[in-house]
Structure 1
């Protein structure tokens, strides 16, 4: 039994089939409050999404169960609670969020929500809990990452994680690239990368993925967990196939989001060796999100990361000229990828902490 503060309800959120359905009001309100919370934390609206674009990401899939609750105080929605349960065989991990309006901090809502998360994770046989939180820079005591790369302030969120038994495992850097006037510099970097990447060619597509590349693309997506720096985070290995790629693509295409995939292909073998993804919502004047980027370990050392990023950004500038900037996230210890971003012109703006707790 979870004890709730007076006036608090943690209401399960049903995922509607359509944002226009009669039962979609709770989802629309969840989205509205989500956007407010992110703006309160970050100080800008770049993380905001309209409800119809967010909805496809919450539809159930074979690879993941997503559970959501509304935090309601005296009839007013003040936040949301989420728990993601990967469905790989033998999965031990669960990923969660607690997002509350700043004006209800300190009332025990977060503690009650975390009790719900931990109980539900145990019911699903999960023993590793992970969560990410943005920690805006402020003066005062700092926490260093155990990787030796980066630190965050000992702020409200950090104190909550520590009191709940979590360990800070990794710092993630958020960076922005101003696309205004970036094209000449990107073309110079692309030419240098092309020279170093002799024997590889660039291929690009807008989702959905062409059938001839689906299996190879799935294989690269599965390596995001094993090949990218993960510090002390304990991940379950992901299995990607054509069906999972299709499920992933639908979260974008059903939302009418525009996604460009740029890959480097090894000419002699036909192997896909690197990829980069750029995405934007229906409003093409908003920020672009640079999502997954990976160079397969066996093909590193040929400047393929720079190749796919610059080729992608240049094609993006032509296709989506009104998007003013790109945001991206990288582990602070991922020096090879950060060096590429810095050379391109990305500037760090904020940092997230990656937190983990192992249940007894």
Structure 2
């Protein structure tokens, strides 16, 4: 139902009945707003989703409620994506972290500072409170990290990374009572990575790992023989990856959840390339890394999860799986030109691997948290 305001009104996009249905006009408008925001930060739209991928994702709400609110001029008629001036994305986990809401508010630059962001935020909070959520997480991005001596530089409790408190996203978050918990580095590498570099790192890492480890790779859905081990890795990813002071609880993964993830990726048109390190004596997976294609953007890839289980660290398995997976990408996705990845600034081990492989900082992101 629409909420009419003095200047703006808020309209919620309906949940798609099917993953392949024609995107709603509100989705198209919201995607355009997101793309404009990404363009501001990066100078390109590599990180912007398409209306089709958003529709496919929102059609599957088995593990999370996914709400989308858009803001329009109060006099604007329904049906025109170009009339959308802002959007609020509300993500409510259903399997775990059910105390948490993830909210992202975006407003076109020309429509900011007129109260639309506040109206979208208020409407999103109503949804979160109605679902019993007591914590909210949000993020915001900027192009470059501020200098350490800048009066606007904010440092999270982790002591690593800096964010500019004078930027629109930071001002909005601070005005709502959010605290800065973590700074993430967004990096990208130009493809192809030098093949000799990848071979060298893979061989050096394999030598360090020793004969107790080898590599397993797959494309697309998780093979049945690895589902159980993949569940272990995904669960541990939720607890072992640096999360600073963010109130994130363990995610419990099972075969049904993995199947749902695979189905969602397929519906969105994504192909996932996975390389895992197998511990031969036990037959278990010691670590893994994943890279996704970006539907509609053949030159763009997204580095997703990378994890080495704590009990297997110190053997360069992180470098082993990442170098090997980039070799897979070179063979299977030869037209790709960029890989994007995100890491907590305190995650020195993974950052060092990325830098060695050629990743360079592209932007900086803040992880904010609020108690409702």
**Common fold: TM-score over 0.5:** yes
The runs of 5 or more residues in structure 2 that have no matched partner are 77-82
CA contact (8 A) 1:91 1:236 kept: no
- Residues 224-273 of structure 1: CA distance to partner in whole angstroms, max 9, x if unpaired? 22100000000122111111111111222112222101111100101111
Distance 1:8 1:271 in 2: 55
CA contact (8 A) 1:203 1:264 kept: yes
Aligned position for 1:119: 126
- Residues 168-188 of structure 1: CA distance to partner in whole angstroms, max 9, x if unpaired? 000000011112352111111
CA contact (8 A) 2:41 2:363 kept: no
My pick for the range that moved more, 137-146 or 291-300, is 137-146
Aligned position for 1:158: 170
Aligned position for 2:49: 49
- Report the TM-score when normalising by structure 1: 0.94
Distance 1:282 1:53 in 2: 7
SS in 1 for 2:328: helix
Q: Which of 135, 141, 148 is the matching residue for 2:159?
A: 148
Q: Does 1:175 align with 2:161?
A: no
Q: Which of 95, 106, 131 is the matching residue for 1:99?
A: 106
The runs of 5 or more residues in structure 1 that have no matched partner are none
My pick for the range that moved more, 61-70 or 190-199, is 61-70
CA contact (8 A) 2:13 2:68 kept: yes
Aligned position for 1:242: 255
- Residues 174-205 of structure 1: CA distance to partner in whole angstroms, max 9, x if unpaired? 01111235211111111101101111111010
Aligned position for 2:268: 255
Please, what is the CA RMSD of the aligned residues? Answer: 2.0
SS in 1 for 2:299: coil
Aligned position for 1:347: 360
SS in 2 for 1:79: strand
CA contact (8 A) 1:284 1:322 kept: no
Aligned position for 1:9: 9
In the TM superposition, residue 323 of structure 1 has moved relative to its aligned partner by: 0.6
- Report the TM-score when normalising by structure 2: 0.91
- Where does 1:265-304 land on structure 2 (aligned, <5 Å)? 265-283=278-296, 285-304=298-317
Matched residue pairs, number? 358
Distance 2:13 2:36 in 1: 18
CA contact (8 A) 1:261 1:278 kept: yes
In the TM superposition, residue 18 of structure 1 has moved relative to its aligned partner by: 4.8
Distance 2:103 2:312 in 1: 34
Aligned position for 1:72: 72
